[in-house]
Amino acid sequence: MPPVSARLPVFPWDRLEPYKATAAAHPDGIVDLSVGTPVDPVPELIRAALADASDSPGYPTVWGTAALRDALTGWVERRLGAAAGVTHTQVLPVVGSKELVASLPTQLGLGPGDRVAFPRLAYPTYEVGARLAGAEPVPYDEPTELDPAGLKLLWLNSPSNPTGQVLSKDELRTAVAWARAHGVLVVSDECYLELGWEADPVSVLHPEISGGSFEGLVAVHSLSKRSNLAGYRAAFLAGDEAVLGELLKIRKHGGMMVPAPVQAATAAALGDDKHVTEQRERYERRRAALRSALAGHGFRIEHSEASLYLWATRDEPCWDTVGALAELGILVAPGEFYGAAGERHVRVAFTATDERVGAAVRRLGG
């Protein structure tokens, strides 16, 4: 039997290592804008909640504490605009959103003969999750143009990684209506929803999209970006209680438990908007500086109305762009990582410190 890894593409970031070495050789050091990993401190109130819950010798529950579930339902109502009355059965904590994306098709029981659809330009883990389950990965340009035969799972991603594109209310409504008409589960990756710059992203759980019902809809949310908690692996699902109920049963068998201190930290983070506003302001400054410098260096920025990335092109093969920027000590992600449609773009993260962003701006001639 061939190894499971044979089903998977080459891990894309391994291909970036030679360019990383080139960038690291710059006299003033590397400016790594290739990965959207937070660099700013974890807010004090979150660290305090984590520390206060650190004496947790027993096993946590998969479903989470009642306090965590209260925080999740309250946030879904307040921030996503869901109708009042969201219940504990409509939320589920998970061990980071990447784990969820990679394992969801398997947890849903999908396999050979089933199809999983995702945007043609997309986070590569959607495809990985389908392949791990033995299902067929199906990239799309427009979800309503898909053949529904055998299609069990439709991924939406707004704001998009890598492009920062935001789907309009009409686009979301159309996708939801089409999926419901064909009995296809919609899972919407909304991890960048609180990072809209030139657009106001909307959740599929908003009544204007969902029609006031979560049936056939699940939203994925993460605290990695909005609260600098990538190291905590804090994320959650909200939506159709029938789907979440089945996932809860499966995750109990698998022991997929968010650590108790992280549950407490998540509840604290979701109850505070001040730190989110402060972090947004940091990113907004960095985004403006990099956008201006890239434009002055001959780049065209496309989409990028939300998320933590600039989707940039000089109308040349993406690896040529990666190489040229590496010579300046700047490391970016080739658009090809996110699908063949990105082969002439690069993704530029603005998740570096102010000092490193300033260094990149100077090297770009800004």
CATH number at residue 17: 3.90.1150.10
Domain that holds residue 17: 4-41+275-363
Are residues 164 and 81 part of one domain? yes
SS3 content of the chain, % helix, strand, coil (to 5): 45, 15, 40
Treating both helix axes as pointing N-terminal to C-terminal, what angle do 44-52 and 260-270 enclose, rounded to 10 degrees? 150
Does 159 share its domain with 61? yes
Residues 112-133 have a mean pLDDT of: 96
For position 14, what pLDDT does the model report? 82
CA distance 105 to 109: 6
Do residue 254 and residue 299 come from a single domain?
no
Q: How many domains does the chain have?
A: 2
Residues 53 and 217: their CA atoms lie apart, in Å, by 33
- How many CB atoms are closer than 10 A to CB 314? 18
- Max Cα distance, the chain (Å): 58
Looking at 271, 292, 326, the residue that finishes a domain is 271
Mean pLDDT value of segment 123-148? 96
In a shared domain, residues 155 and 220: yes
Percentage, residues of the chain above pLDDT 90: 94
Beta strand extents in the chain (DSSP E only): 31-32, 91-95, 115-119, 136-140, 151-157, 185-189, 217-222, 234-239, 300-302, 309-313, 330-331, 333-334, 346-349
Name the 3-class secondary structure at 245. Answer: helix
pTM metric for this prediction: 0.95
Residues 203 and 303 reside in one and the same domain: no
Residues 17, 63 within the same domain: no
Q: Are residues 23 and 48 in the same domain?
A: no
* Pair (81, 221) in one structural domain: yes
pLDDT tens digits for range 31-77 = 999 999 999 999 999 999 999 999 999 999 999 999 999 999 999 99
Q: Which pLDDT value is given to residue 171? A: 98
pLDDT at 6: 63
User: Which ranges constitute the DSSP H helices of 271-308?
Assistant: 274-296
At 79, which CATH number? 3.40.640.10
Q: How far is residue 136's CA from residue 164's CA, in Å, rounded to a whole number?
A: 26
Q: Is residue 266 located within the same domain as residue 283?
A: no
Beta-strand pair 136-140/309-313:
unpaired
